[in-house]
């Protein structure tokens, strides 16, 4: 079954195969995403959307570009993330035990006094140390570059947290209730930003991107024609701790 979704803002034609039972849901969510897109915001490259029966492919590599020079309240991204994944429902954990998928980091140059703020989440490395060290393979990278944890396989050894140079992972310290359907979370497992894999697979952008007022661009780094690739090619971008040669999928401007 094939449906065509017309993206009015970009004028791009998209073809997506969906199972008929999911048709209405997919259509509804894509339409909703289209309606909520703010002017000037880069829309998700729906040309790369795939049906749920199709496996993720290495033809695409999802990435993000964060423009730290824009005057944006990054806490809106944090709130959107918490809301999307149902975070903040720990009642017993201390603050230093609570999960954060994305955080706002303030960086200051001691010499010059120059300072910036930027959102830091899982950097979705091409060569993720968390995946290398995981004894069971629970910490994994999808072919499309998204790094995430298989919560059925995680034994809670926390070695990935030791290995991650970005401190991007959290450990669930207590029994959780009131969970979001798309983000099952369990006591004793490690978790982190999964680039809103549930939204991406439904043809939407990650929640933080949507909340960023255009300051975070999401797209396919493998496609030279995608807006993210074009901007990176023209204006460049930096990766945090690029010296570690992990080639993160999250790029920054202005750092």
Chain residues binding another protein by CB under 8 A are 90, 92-94, 96-100, 103-110, 120, 129, 131-138, 153-159, 161-167, 169-175, 187-190, 240-241, 244, 255
Residue 184 makes CB contacts below 8 A (sequence gap 6+) with 151
The closest of 158, 151, 148 to 194, measured between CA atoms, is: 148
Residue 86 makes CB contacts below 8 A (sequence gap 6+) with 178, 179, 180, 183, 185
- Render 128-173 in DSSP notation, one character per residue: -HHHHH-SSS-EEE-TTS-EEE-TTT-----HHHHH-TT---EE--
Q: Which residue's CB is nearer to another protein, number 86 or number 188?
A: 188
Q: Which residue's CB is nearer to another protein, number 145 or number 203?
A: 145
Q: Which residue's CB is nearer to another protein, number 12 or number 105?
A: 105
Work out how close the CB of 97 gets to another protein at its nearest, in angstroms, rounded to a whole number: 5
The span from the CA of 13 to the CA of 36, in Å, is 18
With beta carbons less than 8 A apart as the criterion, state whether 133 and 160 touch: yes
Work out how close the CB of 78 gets to another protein at its nearest, in angstroms, rounded to a whole number: 8
Work out how close the CB of 171 gets to another protein at its nearest, in angstroms, rounded to a whole number: 6
Q: Which residue's CB is nearer to another protein, number 27 or number 159?
A: 159
Q: Which residue's CB is nearer to another protein, number 55 or number 152?
A: 152
**The residue to which tokens 């809301």 are assigned:** 83
Work out how close the CB of 235 gets to another protein at its nearest, in angstroms, rounded to a whole number: 20
**The residue to which tokens 């202005």 are assigned:** 254
Q: Which residue's CB is nearer to another protein, number 9 or number 153?
A: 153
The span from the CA of 174 to the CA of 165, in Å, is 25
Work out how close the CB of 86 gets to another protein at its nearest, in angstroms, rounded to a whole number: 17
Work out how close the CB of 153 gets to another protein at its nearest, in angstroms, rounded to a whole number: 6
Q: Which residue's CB is nearer to another protein, number 44 or number 166?
A: 166
The span from the CA of 39 to the CA of 191, in Å, is 33
The span from the CA of 190 to the CA of 122, in Å, is 13
> What letter would DSSP give residue 248?
B
Work out how close the CB of 107 gets to another protein at its nearest, in angstroms, rounded to a whole number: 5
């Amino acid at each position: 079954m094939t449906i065509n979704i017309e993206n009015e803002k970009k004028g791009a034609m998209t073809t997506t195969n969906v199972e008929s039972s999911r048709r209405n849901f997919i259509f509804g969510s894509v339409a909703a995403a289209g309606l909520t897109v703010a002017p000037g915001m880069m829309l998700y490259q729906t040309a790369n959307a795939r049906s749920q029966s199709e496996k993720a492919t290495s033809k695409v590599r999802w990435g993000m570009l964060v423009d730290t020079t824009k005057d944006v309240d990054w806490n809106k991204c944090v709130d959107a993330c918490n809301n999307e994944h149902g975070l903040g429902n720990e009642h017993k954990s201390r603050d230093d035990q609570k999960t954060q998928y994305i955080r706002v980091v303030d960086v200051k140059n001691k010499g010059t006094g120059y300072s910036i703020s930027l959102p830091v989440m899982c950097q979705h490395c091409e060569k993720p140390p968390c995946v290398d060290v995981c004894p069971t393979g629970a910490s994994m990278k999808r072919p499309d570059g998204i790094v995430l944890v298989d919560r059925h396989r995680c034994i809670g050894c926390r070695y990935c947290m030791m290995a991650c140079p970005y401190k991007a992972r959290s450990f669930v310290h207590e029994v959780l209730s009131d969970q979001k359907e798309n983000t099952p979370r369990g006591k004793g497992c490690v978790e982190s930003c999964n680039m809103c894999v549930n939204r991406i697979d439904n043809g939407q952008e990650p929640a933080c991107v949507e909340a960023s007022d255009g300051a975070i661009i999401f797209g396919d780094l493998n496609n030279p024609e995608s807006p993210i690739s074009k901007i990176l090619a023209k204006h460049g971008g930096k990766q945090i701790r690029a010296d570690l040669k992990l080639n993160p999928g999250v790029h920054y401007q202005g750092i």
